[in-house]
Amino acid sequence: MSDLDLSEAVWLRSSRSAEDEGPTVEVAFVGDQIAVRDSTDPDAVLLFTQAEWDAFLAGVNDGEFDLDEDGELAN
């Protein structure tokens, strides 16, 4: 991981996630980086550039990560 200071990061979670509903993915926009973490392991952070984040969101919107009825990638 880079030397990016995440101590002041504002972590966002889906409005559909209740605070006490269990683990969720959290996202923070810090400088020119996008940080992503699992709420159950807040020290394990993945960092993405804006281009990488945009490509990921495009894949989500295109159904690239959708699962079939067996829990396998549909594409």
Distance, CA of 52 to CA of 32 (rounded, Å): 11
Q: What's the predicted TM-score (pTM) here?
A: 0.77
Question: Residues in the chain with pLDDT < 70?
Answer: 1-2, 18-21
Task: Give the pLDDT score at 2.
Answer: 60
Structure tokens that stand for 29 in this block = 């926009």
Task: Give the pLDDT score at 20.
Answer: 66
SS3 content of the chain, % helix, strand, coil (to 5): 15, 30, 50
**Helix (H) or strand (E) run with residue 44 in it:** strand 41-49
State the number of CA atoms in the 13 A half-sphere of 65 facing the CB. Answer: 7
**Helix (H) or strand (E) run with residue 57 in it:** helix 50-61
